[in-house]
A and B are shown apart, each in its own frame.
Chain A
Amino acid sequence: MIVEGKKKIWADYQKDIPDDHYFYVRSCIRQAFWPGSEVTFLDITRNKLGKDFYENPYHTTCGGIAYHSDTIPQETAMTIIARQFALMHESGYENYVCSCITSFGCYTETLETWHEYPELEAKIRQYLWDSCKKEFAKPKYLAHASDIIYKFRFEIAKQMKYPLVNVKTGKPLKVVEHIGCHYSKMFPSKGFGGAEYPYVLVGMIEAWGGEVVDYPERRHCCGFGFRQYFVQADRGYSMSNTHKKFESMEPYEPDLIITNCPGCPYFLDRWQYVIAEQTGKTYGKDGYGIPALTYEEVAGLVMGYDPWDLGLQMHQVAIEPLLEKMGIPYDPKRKYQGLNGKDLGQPMCPSCIKSV
């Protein structure tokens, strides 16, 4: 591996991000999968970094899942997106930040398409007025939320309490980074580091003390290719993708997987249980799996947020071995307590993959 070669590519794929005043839109599925991620993102950016992030309660899904599943035409998806942009404009913002990778891909594709085909933009402008009576506007700047954490990774590092280091050995944790396909595979210039060697998560790992694992199936799909998963008969393809990735990363003995897509951590997490059930094989040490976390969860962990406030109990792969490696204190009794100490009940734990 020639690191200088990667650095050159990383230098070629950089983008400016505004310093402040962002309009934030949530993902339609992340809050169900990882309920702590978006709230942690907003807490870090607003309260720890002092940035202005505004949410408009009237925003909806971007329509990306329907668009990529061919259940709505592109014009419909674009009109939904135009409505989101109109809400931003009405709220007095021009820097648009989305939580979801597929949304980021859809927004980017839409803006590029409007740029190339102004007649289509005019059509959508009319659709927006006809359907919503809203004024058409485009963001001055579009970013994915992971771009924001990347931009402020060193500020986060300054407030870091638990770096990505094994406290017992003093060595950096070995971290696999997995980028959502829609981040830069369609438009390489729109993502930090481009499409082949994205830097957005690598930059976080390096800034927070970890060591990046580059393994042969690094670029491979996590298993959440929409058609692989939505069509029940195709789910075997989904799991075989995930299986391929774990087989490939296994020799490197990663401590952690960090992701920036709604679906990737979900499939990289849940399929580990299914693979264990079917084959009896687990990929972490001592019968555990490898934790697959969102970048907000990792940012929260290194900054000292309580693991259960971050929602890490929502991961099927046990998080406790990672917490112990990083020296993060946690209260096992709080794991399944909701707000105000309400007992949420403990889920059934599988026997094929170790849990705590």
Chain B
Amino acid sequence: MKENILIIGGGAAGMEAATQLKKLGLNPIIVEKSERLGGHIAQWDRLFPAFHPAKDVVEQMLNNVKDVDARLNTEVTDIQRDNNGFHAVLSNKETIDAKAVILATGFDLFKAERKQEYGYGIYNNVITSLEIEKFFKEGKDPRINNPKKIGFVHCVGARDVKVGNTYCSKVCCTTALKQACEMKEVFPDAEVYTFYMDLRMFGPGYEDLYLKTQKDFDVKCIRGRVCEVSEDMNGRLVIKAEDTLFGKPLRMTLDLLVLMCSMEKAKSIDKIQQKLGIANNSDGFMQNKDMYLGMNDSKQDGVFVAGTCTAPKSLPDTIGEARSVAVEVFNYINNK
């Protein structure tokens, strides 16, 4: 009989881990709290750095897990360790016995309204990076009405002591540049500005995207944080920032401001995480056993971690971790 492996979370990490575990002859069971698999990436239109349609990746991943047991709209409400591994109780009253557990619970998007100075939820034309992806997908958003001047704010809720998140959220820089280019594609006459602290173009093709953003799309990248947003009589946004390269404060009137929201560890897993004895790091993300050789291991026997539950990660990094966690689990089962 194939051993059950409980995977909590049906996003990119959970789906990819399930795919690989199935190939390795185990029986992964995904428990996903939302109504569909795919996680955050399923809400995205195109992916950096090459503007690849997210749909293609998500559809392939979904196809890979079509034979995997998945419980949608379901959460793990309780979990106990027993002699055979783990005994989990689900919100639909079903129980699952599993030899190992993979936490692939991902991230919550930082709630932009917490940075009150940016006026999200107060001023109509302040939107988030997720909402603009929705606009790219669906082609409509009442707030995006032929804007002539657009700003992107990096590091919203990241590298920010004031909100308690001192870490870099890793993917926002590249996402901002991708979205800035896409806005220029949709609105070629618009002036587009990005406000960054420093641009962290760490992956293959990312630096090329940065150059392309400036050379081909004429996006202006300003090194400095936006400190304040308000609204004028015509409903346009008045922002204040500092251009740290020129060493000057600046004020600008915009039609649209996009906030690049950071990742925070998903809160919905807190209770189960506590039951399993998995601690958080000081940044609020889950602790793994070792950041070099034990990145998929937790400090608890039989409990594994993958994806953005341990730190902000790009999609390729997440998929890489999902594949490696499958190998770790396979070895764990075989050595039992």
Contacts of B121 in A (CB 8 A): 2, 5, 8
Instruction: Choose, from A166-174, A212-220, A232-240, A339-347, the stretch at the interface.
Output: A212-220
- Write the chain A residue with the least CB distance to B235: A1
Nearest Cβ in chain A — how far from B257, in angstroms?
Answer: 14
Within 8 A of B (CB), among A1-33: 1-2, 5-6, 8-9
- Write the chain B residue with the least CB distance to A8: B121
Residue of A1, A6, A8, A214 contacting most chain B CB atoms (<10 Å): A1
Interface range on chain B: under 10, 10 to 19, 20 to 34, or 35 or more? 10 to 19
Tell me the bound Cα distance from A197 to B233 in angstroms: 17
Residue of B119, B120, B230, B235 contacting most chain A CB atoms (<10 Å): B230
Query: Are B123 and A1 touching (Cβ within 8 A)?
Result: yes
Query: Are B233 and A252 touching (Cβ within 8 A)?
Result: yes
Nearest Cβ in chain B — how far from A229, in angstroms?
Answer: 20
Tell me the bound Cα distance from A218 to B231 in angstroms: 10
| Residue from B117, B122, B231 within 8 A of A216 (CB atoms) | B231
Contacts of B231 in A (CB 8 A): 1, 214, 216
Query: Are B233 and A196 touching (Cβ within 8 A)?
Result: no
Tell me the bound Cα distance from A217 to B229 in angstroms: 10
Within 8 A of B (CB), among A187-227: 194-197, 214-219
Query: Are B116 and A197 touching (Cβ within 8 A)?
Result: yes
Nearest Cβ in chain B — how far from A237, in angstroms?
Answer: 13
Contacts of A196 in B (CB 8 A): 116-117, 119
Tell me the bound Cα distance from A218 to B232 in angstroms: 11
Query: Are B113 and A219 touching (Cβ within 8 A)?
Result: no
Contacts of B324 in A (CB 8 A): none
Nearest Cβ in chain B — how far from A70, in angstroms?
Answer: 24
Query: Are A219 and B233 touching (Cβ within 8 A)?
Result: no
Residue of A194, A196, A219 contacting most chain B CB atoms (<10 Å): A196
Interface range on chain A: under 10, 10 to 19, 20 to 34, or 35 or more? 10 to 19
Contacts of A214 in B (CB 8 A): 230-231
User: Given A218-B230, A251-B233, are A1 and B116 neighbors across the interface (CB < 8 Å)?
Assistant: no
B272 contacts chain A at the CB level, 8 A cutoff: no
For the A-B complex, the count of residue pairs with Cβ-Cβ distances under 8 Å equals 40
B238 contacts chain A at the CB level, 8 A cutoff: yes
User: Given A196-B117, A197-B116, are A2 and B122 neighbors across the interface (CB < 8 Å)?
Assistant: yes
Tell me the bound Cα distance from A196 to B114 in angstroms: 11
User: Given A2-B121, A5-B121, are A216 and B232 neighbors across the interface (CB < 8 Å)?
Assistant: yes
Tell me the bound Cα distance from A18 to B238 in angstroms: 39
Nearest Cβ in chain A — how far from B125, in angstroms?
Answer: 11
B280 contacts chain A at the CB level, 8 A cutoff: no
Nearest Cβ in chain B — how far from A187, in angstroms?
Answer: 13
B124 contacts chain A at the CB level, 8 A cutoff: yes
- Write the chain A residue with the least CB distance to B121: A5
Query: Are A1 and B233 touching (Cβ within 8 A)?
Result: no
Query: Are A1 and B238 touching (Cβ within 8 A)?
Result: no
Query: Are B123 and A216 touching (Cβ within 8 A)?
Result: no
B228 contacts chain A at the CB level, 8 A cutoff: yes
Nearest Cβ in chain A — how far from B248, in angstroms?
Answer: 15
Query: Are B113 and A216 touching (Cβ within 8 A)?
Result: no
- Write the chain A residue with the least CB distance to B238: A216
**A-contact 0/1 string along B102-133, CB 8 Å cutoff:** 00000000000100110111111000000000
Nearest Cβ in chain A — how far from B251, in angstroms?
Answer: 9
Query: Are A9 and B230 touching (Cβ within 8 A)?
Result: no
Tell me the bound Cα distance from A9 to B231 in angstroms: 17
Contacts of B238 in A (CB 8 A): 216
Tell me the bound Cα distance from A97 to B293 in angstroms: 59
Within 8 A of A (CB), among B236-283: 238
Nearest Cβ in chain B — how far from A261, in angstroms?
Answer: 19
Tell me the bound Cα distance from A219 to B231 in angstroms: 12
- Write the chain A residue with the least CB distance to B120: A5
Tell me the bound Cα distance from A252 to B117 in angstroms: 22
Within 8 A of B (CB), among A66-122: none
Contacts of B122 in A (CB 8 A): 1-2, 5-6, 9, 197
Query: Are B233 and A2 touching (Cβ within 8 A)?
Result: no
Nearest Cβ in chain B — how far from A116, in angstroms?
Answer: 15
Tell me the bound Cα distance from A251 to B117 in angstroms: 23
Nearest Cβ in chain B — how far from A211, in angstroms?
Answer: 14
Tell me the bound Cα distance from A214 to B238 in angstroms: 12
- Write the chain A residue with the least CB distance to B123: A1
Query: Are B116 and A219 touching (Cβ within 8 A)?
Result: no
- Write the chain B residue with the least CB distance to A219: B228
Nearest Cβ in chain A — how far from B174, in angstroms?
Answer: 29
Nearest Cβ in chain A — how far from B228, in angstroms?
Answer: 6
Query: Are A195 and B230 touching (Cβ within 8 A)?
Result: no
Tell me the bound Cα distance from A217 to B228 in angstroms: 10
Contacts of A217 in B (CB 8 A): 230
- Write the chain A residue with the least CB distance to B118: A196
Query: Are A9 and B124 touching (Cβ within 8 A)?
Result: no
Query: Are B124 and A1 touching (Cβ within 8 A)?
Result: yes
- Write the chain B residue with the least CB distance to A1: B231
Contacts of B120 in A (CB 8 A): 5
- Write the chain A residue with the least CB distance to B239: A216
- Write the chain B residue with the least CB distance to A252: B233
Query: Are A2 and B230 touching (Cβ within 8 A)?
Result: no
Tell me the bound Cα distance from A231 to B121 in angstroms: 40
- Write the chain A residue with the least CB distance to B251: A216
Contacts of A194 in B (CB 8 A): 116
**A-contact 0/1 string along B203-234, CB 8 Å cutoff:** 00000000000000000000000001011110
**23 A–B contacts, CB within 8 A, in A order:** A1-B122, A1-B124, A1-B231, A2-B121, A2-B122, A2-B123, A5-B120, A5-B122, A8-B121, A9-B116, A196-B116, A196-B117, A196-B119, A197-B122, A214-B231, A215-B230, A216-B230, A216-B232, A216-B238, A217-B230, A218-B230, A219-B230, A252-B233
Chain B positions within 8 Å of A, measured between CB atoms, are 113, 116-117, 119-124, 228, 230-233, 235, 238
Chain A positions within 8 Å of B, measured between CB atoms, are 1-2, 5-6, 8-9, 194-197, 214-219, 251-252
11 more A-B residue pairs beyond the given contacts A5-B113, A196-B119, A214-B230, with a C-beta to C-beta distance below 8 A: A6-B122, A8-B113, A9-B113, A9-B122, A196-B116, A216-B230, A216-B232, A218-B230, A219-B230, A251-B233, A252-B233
Which are the 4 A-B pairs with shortest beta-carbon distances?
A: A5-B121, A196-B116, A216-B238, A5-B122
